[in-house]
């Protein structure tokens, strides 16, 4: 890997807990444990708060031994019930003591431990909870650089208190409702549980940052009435109710709603603007590209999430030129970090090294306007959109050839600055890695769409001159793109132009983004459909990131042959944008079916990515061991599928709703209830190519063809 100490979202983490790990997430807090509920020392487990690991050990022993796992139930993304038993006595097959750990993650962690005696005589139990913390940065854990740091440990007023040895303003306190014997590093209970009865204790872990202690969950609170429970219910109350006759699809949509609610964060300025963290376990923070695309996909659920994301990113938009952080005027950030090492590597907690977030920002702003976001809020963001377009011209297009290129400013930044941001993510058909500066095909598509988006906003806000100018620029870019990126002898777009303006000729999923953005011509789209439909690209469970006949193909790689659900969903949306092209709808249906079949295997929750082996070889998708789950744009991908097959395209300012359904047969009826478009609420139901029910206000117009 080229980025040894850099806290960036690139490539895969090392030493990840693997498929047996349990991840709970709520806002910017998450807990990664094994299936016993234990945080094991020496592994990338822990309770993480504001990008630092505040618990590196949380191990429960029953009579000196770990309990045995029976099952793990997770009613919400922020809560889990670990059902365990005391190991049977020597020579016996059965256990008489049930042990249940009910955990909620919030601003800290709350755990209710229940011991239930199912034997015929009272049972004596020694319960031990061993606790430690190292307070290391999230990315030190991710990259296996955590070392062996230990906390300063004290016992005070019945609490176990741990502080960061290097920064005593950061710490965590552990307390319990049934008073334990508190020792440095552990809590002990000596319990006798009568026959047929239960014993319980509640344990609360409260982080401290800047000498401010955060409240996790109050004693006695069940997950449904806890702060995160109230938050998720409030989210459900405002979100559109989307369901289908197909129970598998409905299950996936319910999981999507839950996960996006749990991944939702709010800014701390007092405005409480919502935005989505990129994903657990390693990316629980605001990202440019990830948060923007997730918000776009989630529009059928909630428009305020997209508006909050835009407002937050606009507030952090680049103002100066700083090679260390790659900040440039008008540039939209790549990611924010708040951990102990967040500002040490680049001289700031915000890193700007991304080529695609800036045009995506402008695209989403216009989309928010169409979906009914507050008009004055949109108006206030127009200067940020104009600054973004100036960045595209003044900084993104480094050599004045009309295309946006990237090249990292120092040896500490991301080598690749598109969504495939691993060091080897962009390569040619022979497998050779492209040399910077690199102009990605999908980024040019985003720029094209951004110009048209700002033109649409210019017309809406009475600036026809600007609208005309931007439409001309977009048309020029589309022509130039077709001339320089199309490979006529291959039938697809080059994934990029390299530093020598040579076409990087690998067949990748990036070309499908060119369909989604609308930069592809109809003639080229027709050829792309046949190339994407090939078994080299279609794994049977979704679209591969790289065709299997390319030199760098590896189905177990991060970006060179794996399947990313959000990427496949964008491809489906692109195909349905060109639904008039022969084979586009059929291919979109096949890709979506494969992806939802994969979701069923993953218990309804699509992971960040999975291996790209063909379905004919393995009947179920092969997990990628370091994949994030839940991960924001993977969670939101099913929403983009539903929107795309519905042909759902609102234009709230003109009070028009376009619906052109082409729903897969197995979905049956798909319904949207209480879809909010500005001040208007819409109900809609469709099946196949028919709208079976629609409720709109009288002054709205429904367009079906």
- Residue 601 included in any domain: no
- The Cα–Cα gap between 6 and 140 comes to 9
pLDDT of residue 263: 82
The answer on 195 and 293 residing in a single domain is no
- The Cα–Cα gap between 594 and 601 comes to 11
- The Cα–Cα gap between 264 and 230 comes to 13
- Residue 374 included in any domain: yes
CA neighbor of 538 nearest in space, from 463, 616, 600: 616
- The Cα-based distances of 703 to 195, 452, 698 in angstroms read 68, 22, 14
Q: What is the pLDDT of residues 694-703, one digit of tens each?
A: 999 999 999 9
Token pair, residue 33, equals 């444990």
Beta bridge partners of 81: 73, 102
Token pair, residue 95, equals 């256990």
**Residues 620-647 as b or e (16 or more Cβ within 10 Å = b):** ebbbbebbbbbbbbbbbbbbbbbbbbbb
- Residue 534 included in any domain: no
- Residue 201 included in any domain: yes
Long-range contacts formed by 674-681: CB under 8 A, 24+ apart: 674/240, 674/241, 675/240, 675/300, 676/238, 676/240, 676/302, 676/303, 676/372, 677/303, 677/371, 677/372, 677/650, 677/652, 678/372, 678/373, 678/652, 679/372, 680/372, 680/652, 680/655
- The Cα–Cα gap between 294 and 78 comes to 19
- The Cα-based distances of 273 to 78, 294, 385, 530 in angstroms read 20, 16, 19, 43
**What CATH number did the domain enclosing 31 receive?**
2.70.98.40
The answer on 128 and 201 residing in a single domain is yes
Q: Reduce the DSSP state of residue 319 to 3 states and report it.
A: coil
The answer on 245 and 217 residing in a single domain is no
The answer on 252 and 212 residing in a single domain is no
pLDDT of residue 219: 53
The answer on 186 and 294 residing in a single domain is no
- The Cα-based distances of 392 to 113, 240, 382, 450, 477 in angstroms read 55, 35, 15, 10, 13
- Residue 404 included in any domain: yes
Q: What is the pLDDT of residues 374-398, one digit of tens each?
A: 999 999 999 999 999 999 999 999 9
- Residue 5 included in any domain: no
- Residue 47 included in any domain: yes
Contact 634, 566 (CB under 8 A): yes
Contact 135, 148 (CB under 8 A): no
- In 543-699, which ranges are E strands? 649-651, 656-658, 669-677, 680-687, 690-695
The answer on 486 and 385 residing in a single domain is yes
| Residue tagged 């807090």 (tokens) | 29
- The Cα–Cα gap between 49 and 55 comes to 9
Contact 588, 644 (CB under 8 A): yes
- Residue 559 included in any domain: no
- The Cα–Cα gap between 162 and 700 comes to 60
Token pair, residue 109, equals 């962690």
The answer on 151 and 52 residing in a single domain is yes
Low-confidence residues in the chain, pLDDT < 50: 1-7, 9-18
The answer on 203 and 348 residing in a single domain is no
The answer on 226 and 144 residing in a single domain is yes
pLDDT of residue 5: 36
The answer on 243 and 178 residing in a single domain is no
Contact 444, 438 (CB under 8 A): no
The answer on 503 and 375 residing in a single domain is yes
Q: Number of structural domains, the chain?
A: 2
Write down the H helix ranges in 264-374. Answer: 288-297, 304-315, 357-370
pLDDT of residue 409: 94
Beta bridge partners of 155: 160
Q: Reduce the DSSP state of residue 154 to 3 states and report it.
A: strand
The answer on 302 and 192 residing in a single domain is no
**What CATH number did the domain enclosing 408 receive?**
1.50.10.10
Contact 580, 633 (CB under 8 A): no
The 3-class secondary structure across 377-409, one letter per residue, is: HHHHHHHHHHHHHHHHHHHHCCCCCCCCCECCC
pLDDT of residue 218: 58
Phi, psi (5° rounding) for residue 252? Answer: -60, -40
Contact 254, 266 (CB under 8 A): no
Token pair, residue 124, equals 């004596």
Contact 359, 27 (CB under 8 A): no
226: number of CA atoms within 13 Å, CB side? 27
Range of the domain at 366: 239-277+287-524+635-686
- The Cα–Cα gap between 694 and 682 comes to 8
| Residue tagged 């955060």 (tokens) | 214
Element (H, E) at 254: helix 247-263
């Amino acid at each position: 890997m080229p980025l040894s100490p850099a806290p960036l979202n690139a490539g895969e983490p090392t030493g990840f807990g693997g498929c047996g790990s349990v991840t709970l997430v709520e806002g910017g807090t998450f807990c990664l444990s094994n299936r016993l509920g234990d945080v094991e020392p020496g592994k990338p487990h822990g309770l993480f708060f504001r990008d630092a690991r505040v618990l590196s050990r949380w191990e429960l022993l029953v009579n000196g031994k770990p309990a045995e796992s029976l099952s793990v139930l997770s009613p919400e993304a922020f809560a889990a019930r670990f059902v365990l038993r005391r190991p049977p006595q020597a020579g016996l097959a059965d256990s008489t003591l049930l042990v249940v750990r009910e955990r909620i993650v919030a601003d800290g962690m709350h755990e209710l431990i229940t011991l239930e005696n199912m034997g015929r005589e009272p049972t004596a139990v020694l319960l031990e909870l061993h606790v430690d913390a190292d307070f290391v940065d999230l990315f030190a854990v991710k990259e296996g650089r955590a070392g062996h740091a230990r906390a300063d440990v004290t016992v005070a007023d019945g609490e176990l208190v741990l502080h960061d040895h290097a920064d005593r303003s950061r710490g965590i306190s552990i307390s319990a409702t049934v008073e334990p014997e508190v020792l440095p590093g552990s809590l002990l209970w000596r319990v006798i549980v009568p026959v047929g009865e239960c014993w319980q204790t509640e344990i609360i872990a409260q982080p401290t940052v800047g000498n401010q202690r955060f409240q996790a969950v109050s004693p006695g609170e069940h997950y449904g009435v806890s702060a995160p429970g109230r938050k998720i219910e409030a989210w459900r109350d405002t979100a559109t109710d989307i369901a289908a006759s197909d129970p598998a699809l409905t299950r996936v949509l319910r999981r999507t709603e839950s996960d996006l609610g749990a991944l939702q964060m709010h800014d701390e300025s007092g405005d409480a603007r919502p935005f989505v963290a990129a994903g657990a376990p390693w990316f629980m923070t605001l990202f440019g590209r990830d948060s923007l695309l997730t918000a776009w996909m989630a529009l059928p659920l909630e428009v305020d999430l997209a508006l909050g994301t835009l407002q937050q990113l606009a507030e952090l938009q680049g103002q100066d030129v700083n090679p260390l952080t790659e900040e440039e005027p008008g540039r939209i950030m790549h990611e924010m970090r708040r951990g102990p090492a967040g500002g040490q590597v680049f001289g700031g907690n915000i890193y700007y090294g991304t080529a695609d977030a800036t045009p995506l920002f402008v695209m989403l702003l216009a989309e928010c306007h169409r979906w009914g976001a507050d008009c004055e809020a949109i108006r206030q963001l127009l200067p940020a959109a104009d600054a973004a377009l100036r960045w595209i011209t003044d900084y993104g297009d480094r050599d004045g050839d009309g295309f946006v290129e990237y090249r990292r400013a120092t040896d500490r930044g991301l080598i690749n600055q598109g969504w495939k941001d691993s060091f080897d993510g962009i390569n040619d058909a022979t497998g050779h890695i492209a040399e910077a500066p690199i102009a990605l095909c999908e980024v040019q598509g985003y720029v094209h769409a951004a110009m048209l988006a700002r033109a649409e906003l210019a017309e809406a806000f009475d600036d026809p001159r600007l609208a005309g100018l931007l439409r001309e620029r977009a048309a020029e870019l589309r022509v130039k793109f077709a001339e320089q990126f199309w490979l006529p002898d291959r039938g697809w777009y080059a994934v990029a132009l390299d530093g020598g303006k040579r076409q990087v000729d690998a067949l990748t999923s990036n070309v499908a983004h060119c369909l989604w953005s609308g930069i592809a011509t109809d003639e080229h789209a027709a050829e792309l459909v046949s190339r994407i439909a090939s078994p080299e690209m279609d794994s049977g469970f979704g679209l591969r990131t790289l065709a299997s006949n390319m030199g760098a193909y590896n189905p177990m790689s991060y970006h060179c042959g794996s399947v990313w659900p959000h990427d496949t969903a964008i491809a489906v949306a692109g195909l349905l944008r060109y639904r008039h092209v022969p084979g586009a709808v059929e291919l979109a249906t096949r890709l979506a079916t494969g992806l939802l079949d994969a979701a069923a295997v993953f218990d309804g929750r699509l992971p960040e990515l999975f291996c790209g082996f063909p379905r004919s070889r393995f009947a179920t998708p092969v997990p990628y061991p370091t994949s994030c789950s839940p991960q924001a744009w993977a969670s939101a991908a099913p929403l983009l599928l539903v929107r795309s097959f519905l042909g759902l395209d609102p234009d709230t300012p003109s009070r028009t709703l376009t619906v052109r359904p082409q729903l897969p047969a197995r979905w049956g009826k798909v319904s949207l209830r209480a879809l909010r478009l500005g001040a208007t609420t819409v109900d809609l139901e469709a099946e196949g190519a028919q709208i079976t029910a629609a409720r709109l206000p009288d002054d709205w117009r429904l367009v079906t063809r």
